[in-house]
Amino acid sequence: MTVVRVAAPGRVNLIGDHTDYTNGFVLPMILERRTVVEGEIIPGDMIRIESADDPDICVFPATVASPGRLNPAWGRYVAAMVREAGEVPAFRARVTTDLPIASGLSSSAALEIATGRFIREITGREWDDVAMAEAARRAEHVASGVPCGIMDQLCIAVGRHDHATFIDCRDLSFRHVPIPETLEVVVRFVARRTLVGSEYADRVADCRAIEALIGPLREADPAALESIVDERLRRRARHVITENLRVLASLEALSEGDLDGFGRLMVDSHRSLARDFETSNPRMDAAVEELMDEPGVLGARMTGGGFGGCVVAIRRRL
- Whether residue 175 lies inside any domain: the answer is no
- Whether residue 148 lies inside any domain: the answer is yes
Whether 143 and 206 share a structural domain: no
Whether 47 and 152 share a structural domain: yes
- E strands, 156-246, are 163-168, 173-178, 183-191
Determine if the peptide bond prior to 72 is cis (ω within 30°): yes
- Whether residue 252 lies inside any domain: the answer is yes
- Whether residue 139 lies inside any domain: the answer is yes
- Whether residue 48 lies inside any domain: the answer is yes
Whether 150 and 186 share a structural domain: no
Residue among 35, 226, 281 nearest 136 (CA): 35
**Which residues have C-beta within 8 Å of that of residue 217, sequence separation ≥ 6?**
22, 24, 207, 210, 211, 237, 240, 241, 244
Whether 40 and 136 share a structural domain: yes
Q: What is the dihedral of CA 142, 147, 151, 155, to 10 degrees?
A: -20
Whether 131 and 30 share a structural domain: yes
Whether 126 and 202 share a structural domain: no
Helix (H) or strand (E) holding 121: helix 107-123
Residue 41 and residue 88: Cα distance in Å, rounded? 10
Helix (H) or strand (E) holding 285: helix 282-292
Whether 151 and 185 share a structural domain: no
- Among 129, 147, 168, give the residue marking a domain's end: 168
Residue 283 and residue 146: Cα distance in Å, rounded? 24
pLDDT at 307: 82
Q: Let me know: does 135 contact 155? Beta carbons within 8 Å.
A: no
pLDDT at 247: 99
- Whether residue 174 lies inside any domain: the answer is no
Whether 300 and 155 share a structural domain: no
- Whether residue 173 lies inside any domain: the answer is no
- E strands, the chain, are 4-15, 25-41, 46-51, 54-61, 91-97, 163-168, 173-178, 183-191, 297-303, 309-316
Residue 180 and residue 256: Cα distance in Å, rounded? 10
pLDDT at 196: 55
Whether 196 and 68 share a structural domain: no
Residue 61 and residue 50: Cα distance in Å, rounded? 15
Residue 153 domain boundaries: 4-168
Give the CATH number for residue 298: 3.30.70.890
Count of beta carbons in the 10 Å neighbourhood of residue 315: 21
Residue 17 and residue 24: Cα distance in Å, rounded? 10
- Among 140, 168, 196, give the residue marking a domain's end: 168
**Count of the separate structural domains present in the chain:** 2
Q: Let me know: does 94 contact 75? Beta carbons within 8 Å.
A: no
- Among 142, 168, 194, give the residue marking a domain's end: 168
pLDDT tens per residue across span 51-78: 999 999 999 999 999 999 999 999 999 9
pLDDT at 78: 99
Catalytic residue status for 152: yes
CA 312 from centre of chain: 14
Q: What is the reported pTM?
A: 0.96
Looking at this protein, which amino acid is placed at residue 59?
V
Give the CATH number for residue 116: 3.30.230.10
Q: Let me know: does 276 contact 238? Beta carbons within 8 Å.
A: yes
Whether 144 and 39 share a structural domain: yes
Catalytic residue among 20, 129, 152, 276: 152
- Whether residue 84 lies inside any domain: the answer is yes
Residue 170 and residue 299: Cα distance in Å, rounded? 28
Q: Let me know: does 288 contact 270? Beta carbons within 8 Å.
A: yes
Whether 300 and 157 share a structural domain: no
Quote the DSSP letter at residue 293.
T
pLDDT at 191: 84
Whether 89 and 234 share a structural domain: no
Q: What is the mean pLDDT, run by run of 10 residues, along the chain of 318 residues?
A: 95 98 99 98 98 96 96 97 97 97 92 99 97 98 94 99 98 98 96 71 96 98 97 99 99 98 99 96 95 98 89 95
